[in-house]
A and B are shown apart, each in its own frame.
Chain A
Amino acid sequence: MRLGLCAPLTAHVHPLVAATVVGDKNQPISITLRAYLDTLLPADDISPSASTIGVHKHLLKKAQDDALYRRLLLLGTRWLEQQAQARDPVSFAALGEERREQIIMLAEDAPATALERVFFEHTRVDAFESYYSDPAIWATLGYPNAPQPLGFVGYGSAPRSTQS
């Protein structure tokens, strides 16, 4: 069920490069990325936002090691800025939550080969992998520990309440 990363990127990024570089508004990639990830995984009463636990750093680290992924982040965040600044000169990060969500929905609903959709699909999965690898987030789901060394004794009984 895992999305293969390399093939879709190689197939879809290059043809779109020329078309998307134009919209650059000099917004540092990390600021846009943080705002984007915090819209995907926002803080709520129970658990922190993506950036609070460093999900953006995980993606940026991956981009450091992988040129194609770096390009994807660059083009994807530029696309977000283009959308944000289409009406007024307001950066993506400065938009209200609702407007940020609307922009992300555009990416989610775009054709499978569109840059913004490829960016959305890959970064969402990577954000999930980073966010849900954090024991602090596990605790909010009632997931007590990594499988070892403790295992799950008491496994034959009903679980304790998950929202303590």
Chain B
Amino acid sequence: MSDSDYDAVVIGSGAGGGASAFGLARAGLHVLLLEAGPSYDPHTDYNLHGADWEQRGFPHKVEPKERQTIAPLQMLSQRFDDLRSWNHLTGRRDIGNRREAVGYHHVVGLGGSTLQFTGEAHRLNPNSMKMYSQFGVAADWPFDYDELEPFYVDAERIIGVAGPSDNTRWRSRPCPLPPHLPSYASQRLGEACKGLGYSWAPNYLAALSQPYDGRPSCNYCGNCARGCPRLDKGSVDVTFIDQAIRSGNCDIKTNAQVTRLEAGADDRIQRVHFVSADGAAHVVKGRAIVIACGAIETPRLLLASMGTHAPQGIGNESGHVGKHFMETLYWTSSGLHPDPLASYRGLPSDSICWDFNAPDAIPDVIGGCRFAPSVAESDLLGPISYARRVVGGWGKQHKAAMRENFGNVLSLGAIGENLPNKNSFVDLDPDVVDPNGIPLAKIHSHLPDHELERVKFMAHTAREILGAAGVGKIFEEYGAYDAFNSTHVFGTCRMGIDPSTSVVNAFGRSHRWRNLFITDASVFPSSGGGEGPALTIEALALRSSAYIATLATRREL
């Protein structure tokens, strides 16, 4: 550490940054983790104990919505009217004829978006990593699944993932913890799937089915998206970051917004500039610089760091920074079951149907999807949401209907592959800057017809399964067709072998900048068939960290 303050400076502390900080600190490197947001105390910040719990969402301390802009979205066409969002009380989503920009959902805080995530801990379908060579779409991952598998095992062990241990999802070792028992409501969906000839299995979850590593097991409150006050949900703060701190090798600075990377003439990043909460500007040096700001903010930081040595932005020699943006392609249908289910109980997405997850599993459409219960994701967990969205009305009839129907909602959600296209990308907004004068990221999103055909399949199958489960009438549906509303974002700093078509190599290292690495979802060459990305991001980050540690040992950074 002759010329640097740290062996590695990690920027961003979500799935990618948290796992990177841990992987590097575990290897004995002296790490600084810089996070733009504050830390959260699960015991005091997440209020699921009070009578007003339902009125509180995730307690964002930094409003995430104002941190990006979204370019005007596509016009809607009558052809896909069946995919418009609607509710039986309020009617069709009242947005006119243009797709609505609802937003990029994420958390600015220590632990990033995993603080709010549902906790699905998925391995990617190996076939989804070869989309170009198999189907001529997206790009191939520059290595095979087998190379990532040991890092999946490592990440699952650190988190305490619970799930089935059979080999249906390409595993070399059993899951660390046994699967959770599906909720009573999810069992109804399972029976429906069985009747239709579909499979239905316990989901892989970053939620403890037994006490693990000093954390208690889940008590099935269903509210992971409001933040888990028990600490059993495997968000990055209570797993990777906690262990990084325990290693004694990781310093953390919260409320530290990185504003610029300073490039040198020697193809190295010389310094990292950041601003602390009091507005003071700081500079720090690292032998390795690891960026993990998420697939929207990472390209923004690289593009905004343009300068003499990097006139197009750092890492953008190929012109691919910000390109190939992939979003969350989703669909959810909700209906009332005739029997009491108390469907507010249990873990969100506790079961899953993988039958259509392979890239060629949907007839006539390339790219897969998967189905899971989504009462929690739809926020249909408490009486207020029933009063407003399910039952409606007022007076004695309303009250009787509330008693009749409360707890009976059954929802099924689908998430599918999103293939990159030239109209979906992230660039810098020429008109809007943040308080530090840095242009905001501008999201451009477009869903071509083949994406909508996939959503169509997702919608039809969700309705089919709900119908088979005994749901007579669906009362609400929403999906990606008429709303950009993303929780999973990827692709904007694609990894690949060819420096002219990608930003980083197979280890997340910039093709040009020798000490620059990217370890978040921006490196995905394809999105997968609806799998939650967090576990794959973490496995990739552990893999990159091991590589960086080897380079550090060999003095090749």
Contacts and interface: CB of A to CB of B under 8 A. Distances in A.
Given A138-B383, A140-B403, A143-B406, 17 more contacts: A41-B395, A41-B399, A42-B399, A44-B399, A47-B399, A133-B52, A134-B51, A141-B407, A151-B219, A152-B220, A152-B346, A155-B220, A156-B187, A156-B346, A157-B184, A159-B342, A162-B406
Contacts of B402: 141
A125 B388 contact: yes
Interface residues of B, number: 47
B218 interface: yes
Nearest to B476: A1
Interface string A133-164: 11101101111001111111111111101110
A160 B458 CA distance: 33
A132 B54 CA distance: 9
A1 B395 contact: no
A152 B382 contact: no
Contacts of A128: 384, 387-388
Which secondary structure characterizes the binding site on chain A?
Answer: loop
Contact of B181 (A46, A133, A152, A156): A156
Interface stretch (B112-120, B222-230, B262-270): B222-230
B342 A142 contact: yes
Contact of B223 (A39, A125, A134, A147): A147
Contacts, number: 129
B392 to A, nearest CB: 9
Nearest to A49: B399
A101 interface: yes
Contacts of B344: 143, 152
The list of the 10 closest CB pairs from A to B, nearest first, reads A151-B219, A159-B342, A155-B345, A147-B221, A152-B345, A132-B383, A148-B48, A128-B387, A147-B48, A141-B406
Interface string B373-391: 0000000011110111100
Interface string B188-220: 000000000000000000000000000000111
Which secondary structure characterizes the binding site on chain B?
Answer: loop
Which of B87, B389, B407 has most A Cβ within 10 Å?
Answer: B407
Nearest to A155: B345
Nearest to A137: B383
B345 A133 contact: no
Contacts of A157: 184
A159 B399 contact: no
A159 B182 contact: no
Contacts of B381: 147
A134 B48 CA distance: 14
B255 interface: no
B180 to A, nearest CB: 9
Given A1-B87, A153-B220, A159-B341, A41 B403 contact: no
29 contacts: A39-B395, A41-B395, A41-B398, A44-B399, A124-B394, A128-B384, A128-B388, A132-B384, A132-B386, A133-B52, A133-B384, A137-B383, A140-B403, A141-B403, A142-B407, A143-B382, A146-B49, A147-B49, A147-B381, A148-B229, A148-B230, A151-B219, A155-B346, A156-B181, A156-B346, A158-B184, A159-B407, A162-B340, A162-B406
A45 to B, nearest CB: 10
A121 to B, nearest CB: 11
A151 B232 CA distance: 13
